[in-house]
A = this chain, B = another copy of it.
Amino acid sequence: MIRTGFQVAARLGHRRALPGGPRVLPGLSPTSAFGSSVDSLVSIFCPKKTDLKDYALPNPSWCPDMLSLYQEFLEKTKTNGWVKIPSFKSNKDHLQGFKLPSTLAVTSDKDDSRLFTRCIQVEGQGYEYVIFFQPSQKKSVCLFQPGPYLEGIPGFAHGGSLIALVDEAFAKTAYLAGEGLITISLSIRFQNSIPLGSLAVMNIDVEKIEDQKIYMSCIIQSRDQQTVYAKSSGKQVLWPQFLSCHLYPQSKQKGGG
């Protein structure tokens, strides 16, 4: 049942792509997300109490570096305004706090899906990561420890596993920072491979919000910043721009766009 709404949006997207061809389909309500403040988005998106399992919590597979830096940032959530973004099994769970219009209602008749970056369930085997967000500075830090199932060249994380997590971290940060959610484009430049089981620290910044788009950058390094693993940049379309082109194509036409 639930997917119907998304499929409607997808079809609209196919009929009338945004200039430059953005990706279609978020699942948030215009009535709840349109024009919301960062604080209100954070309060809905990062509930302090929930029955849902949060996968962004320490487990025995975390290396000492990952654990100690996690504790450092956890302290910052108490004093410096940082927020730990919870990580649920599916984006459907993240959307539960939002009031959705009937055409985009999120109600699945089966629950066999998982968020890609949480696809491997055995602790330490795949993605171990946690994202902390700084609302006033509109930036994030993601702690990433790739497990042996993310391998590319033997002993090292697959470049694709890193790009995928950059995309995910961009999406979560962009939504909280400016209601961006749909990745339009992403570029990455690799410099060194990340050894499996070690910690990589991703610093994500919102560079600017302009022309209904949000521009992001990310540098991925070792904790001591002596090794740069990669640098990335990405662009997301804002939710209001998506809506105006995809859900209300006629009004968009009237507006001359």
Q: Which residues of A contact B (CB under 8 A)?
A: 2-3, 6-7, 10, 13-14, 17, 20-27, 90-92, 95, 106, 108, 112-117, 119-120, 126, 148-161, 163-168, 171, 182-193, 195-196, 227-228, 230
Contact = CB atoms under 8 A, between A and B. Distances in A.
29 contacts: A2-B154, A6-B155, A7-B195, A10-B192, A17-B192, A20-B189, A23-B191, A23-B230, A24-B193, A25-B156, A25-B193, A27-B154, A90-B154, A91-B152, A113-B149, A115-B158, A116-B150, A116-B158, A116-B161, A119-B126, A158-B167, A159-B183, A160-B164, A163-B186, A164-B164, A183-B190, A184-B190, A185-B188, A187-B187
Nearest to A119: B149
A153 B106 CA distance: 11
A221 to B, nearest CB: 12
B149 A159 contact: no
Nearest to A233: B187
Contacts of A166: 160
Contact of A153 (B21, B26, B167, B189): B26
Which applies to chain A's interface (DSSP): helix, strand, loop or mixed? Answer: mixed
B3 A227 contact: no
